[in-house]
Amino acid sequence: MELACCSCSCSVPGRSSLSPAAPTRRRRSARAACRTRASRLAVISKATAVELDGAAASRALRRSGGGSMELAKSSAAMEKLDIERGVCVPFRKYSPEMVRSKVLESQGAIWSLVMRGVEIVWKLGFYWSTLMYDCFIGQDEEIVPFRAMQLRNLLCDLGPSFIKAGQVLANRPDIIREDYMNELCILQDDVPSFPNQVAFNIIEEELGRPLEAVFSKISSRTIAAASLGQVYRATLRDTGEDVAIKVQRPDIEPIIYRDLFLFRTLASFLNGISLQKLGCNAELIVDEFGEKLLEELDYTLEARNIEDFLENFKDDPTVKIPRVYKQLSGSRVLVMEWIDGIRCTNPKAIKDAGIDVNGFLTVGVSAALRQLLEFGLFHGDPHPGNIFAMRDGRIAYVDFGNVAVLSQQNKQILIDAVVHAVNEDYAEMANDFTRLGFLASGTDVSPIIPALEAIWQNSAGKGLSDFNFRSVTGKFNQLVYQYPIRIPERFSLVIRSLLTQEGICFTLEPDFKFLEVAYPYVANRLLTDPNPALRERLIQVLFKDGVFQWKRLENLIVLAKENVAKMSSNPALRGKDVQRSRDRQVERKLDLKDTIKDGARLFIVDEGIRRQLLLALTEDSKLHIQELVDVYRLIEDQIDIPSVAMEVVRDLPTVARDLMLSWSESVLSER
């Protein structure tokens, strides 16, 4: 969810300010911090538009009343990220200057940094020399699978920062080639664990009590191991509830800070190449990585992420989010409700449990799209090990350390991109890439337009039955290498999320059509969402080259009805614990009252829309009564005519006011 800035259009990741569960103190402190950052962002954005150069850093330095140029550059770098994402981060865990101060705080720390640098240079240098040798003898392509495996093992050997970097690179086609990406994907599921006793000592330190005082039993083996921590199953002594305990790797923070400093130092030498190939500084990529990595390192932030997901899905009976035991959790230990489901890594067990696979996948796709387009807060690492199928058909998520936030502006641009794709407006699609940060501001998009058109027409032309994101992404990866395109970190997570969940769908049900669920969901949002911005997108969809698209309107209604029917009849809603609230929580009809009311208002107030609709009704010198009848037949079982009429009548004073304002503006403009 998002907290709107008080003085800018960006948003703060976290709990909505309108949420009754949000603590007053957090709301006030977030707003105060946001106002401060918003004012600074406003000053800098005027000077830079999007790109912050050395002059901007100099201005930031003068504003601060002095200090080092390095501090100003660090501040400018992070503010650049905020401007691009449209998101204020009031309590930042990362900044280049903070990393620098931590690794250079003492002679011992400096010596440790030097030794770590020597280790990294030696191991990576040796690996690089093998790649150069392969090129020299002409066998670089034949030996790629072996070298990719070597790289994965090398990253594991270099520690958690490099494992995490490998996981990030596995989703960055703008940086690394596809065969290496496929090998690095293994790092998302297969990471060595650390000794149990070390983990148990960390848990006791965080709890301040012996394990036996809190847990009646704890698993002797790790349930899962990741780059930053590992998970155990335990039983609470007081209540007998089963819980999952996530424990951070020992002494990981100093290693992370050292590695981030070295990454950024190396990146400073690669800025020229990065600007040429990606259209941005290499340091910016490191800053994105470092910010996300340090957020994952603090388990108190992950606890807050879980609370936000619980708030978002509190009225959705098809999604299960584990609750957090905050009194037992800290910055290095997180205790959560145990999810008694079947991991998506075991498709056979899901089918053997009698779970309706199609119903489960429909729930999963809808939940993913809600995160992306409705909440703007989505799970950034939904690999099969982090998604469970509950035995009643619900979907459950775990591991919320890696989540991403999309601002309201970013969500609207994504909807714009969908609309432009539907309308085959490829020039605007290319401009959407610039607005989303894939292309640097001022980049000439004209060479990219034909490539986008070829990719989309080749993929969409196959129809829903053969369309899949992986084939589109593969073609897009080739485009990335041909043009100066950078994939922003948040959108690399979006791409990974969609690809991973599509892969789960195909594993569980090879004939599952991802877009046959996604399209109806988007159609339902366009027709029924209360957000006025989405209504504007609906108008753009319904008009092409000034001509009203009757068939497109009919298709949208059919798809939206299909989405409602699928969700209301889903097996996940048959459980005893959700049946009582089914009518309240899941719509069984399209709620078109607001859409019809807005349409009536636009027809009366907006002269341009009124003219276009009248032309649509009289196009080709004939009245299109049959089209109106067809549309009415599609929605007659979905709407209550007296209720809609009453809503329109209630809105008449507002319509009259808008009409008078529109008339007065036109009169004044004529004078």
pLDDT tens per residue across span 403-420: 888 888 888 888 788 778
Residue-level pLDDT at 494: 82
Ramachandran region of residue 264, left (φ > 0), alpha (ψ -120 to 50) or beta?
Answer: alpha
Q: Which residue has the tokens 């970097």?
A: 165
Residue-level pLDDT at 242: 96
Rounded to whole angstroms, the Cα distance separating 101 from 257 reads 10
Look at 151-155, 365-369, 426-430, 621-625 and tell me which has the smallest mean pLDDT: 621-625
**The tokens of 259 are what?**
């590695």
For residues 329 and 208, the answer to whether their CB atoms sit within 8 Å is no
For residues 397 and 321, the answer to whether their CB atoms sit within 8 Å is yes
What pairs with residue 218 in β-bridges?
Answer: 234
Q: Predicted confidence band at 662 (pLDDT cuts at 50, 70, 90)?
A: low
Ramachandran region of residue 572, left (φ > 0), alpha (ψ -120 to 50) or beta?
Answer: alpha
Domain spans of the chain, in order of start: 96-188+254-294
Q: Predicted confidence band at 337 (pLDDT cuts at 50, 70, 90)?
A: very high
Residue-level pLDDT at 303: 95
Res. 475: pLDDT tops 80: no
CB-count burial class (<10 Å; 0-12, 13-18, 19+) for 240: exposed
Taking residues 621-630, report their average pLDDT.
Answer: 71
Res. 594: pLDDT tops 70: no
Using one digit for the tens of pLDDT, what is the confidence trace for 143-177? 888 888 999 899 988 888 888 888 777 766 666 77
Q: Which range in 1-10, 126-135, 645-654, 658-667 is most confidently predicted, on average pLDDT?
A: 126-135
Res. 48: pLDDT tops 80: no
Which of 82, 308, 381, 416 is an active site residue?
A: 381
Q: Predicted confidence band at 80 (pLDDT cuts at 50, 70, 90)?
A: low
Res. 273: pLDDT tops 60: yes
Residue-level pLDDT at 663: 67
Query: Which residue intervals of 395-531 are DSSP H helices?
Result: 408-422, 426-435, 448-460, 469-482, 489-508, 514-528
- Return all residues near 452 (Cβ < 8 A) that are at least 6 apart: 426, 429, 430, 479
Report CA torsion sign: 131, 133, 136, 141: negative
Taking residues 556-571, report their average pLDDT.
Answer: 71
Residue-level pLDDT at 83: 58
- Return all residues near 510 (Cβ < 8 A) that are at least 6 apart: none
Look at 25-39, 145-159, 221-235 and tell me which has the smallest mean pLDDT: 25-39
Taking residues 369-377, report their average pLDDT.
Answer: 87
Q: Predicted confidence band at 213 (pLDDT cuts at 50, 70, 90)?
A: very high
Residues of 2-17 as b/e, b for ≥16 C-beta within 10 angstroms? bbbbeebebbbbbbbb
| Whole-number average pLDDT of the chain | 76
Q: Predicted confidence band at 214 (pLDDT cuts at 50, 70, 90)?
A: very high
Taking residues 339-352, report their average pLDDT.
Answer: 85
Look at 46-60, 92-106, 219-233, 410-424 and tell me which has the smallest mean pLDDT: 46-60
588 closest CA partner among 623, 611, 560, 551: 560
Q: Predicted confidence band at 190 (pLDDT cuts at 50, 70, 90)?
A: low
Residue-level pLDDT at 541: 74
Residue-level pLDDT at 575: 53
pTM flag (> 0.85): no
Taking residues 467-494, report their average pLDDT.
Answer: 74
Residue-level pLDDT at 7: 36
Taking residues 534-559, report their average pLDDT.
Answer: 74
Res. 529: pLDDT tops 90: no
Residue-level pLDDT at 232: 96
Size of the chain, expressed as the number of residues it contains: 671
DSSP element (H, E) containing 405: strand 403-405
Residue-level pLDDT at 25: 38
Look at 9-13, 267-271, 322-326, 549-553 and tell me which has the smallest mean pLDDT: 9-13
Taking residues 209-236, report their average pLDDT.
Answer: 92
Is 381 assigned a catalytic role?
A: yes
Q: Predicted confidence band at 603 (pLDDT cuts at 50, 70, 90)?
A: low
CB-count burial class (<10 Å; 0-12, 13-18, 19+) for 359: buried
Residue-level pLDDT at 216: 95
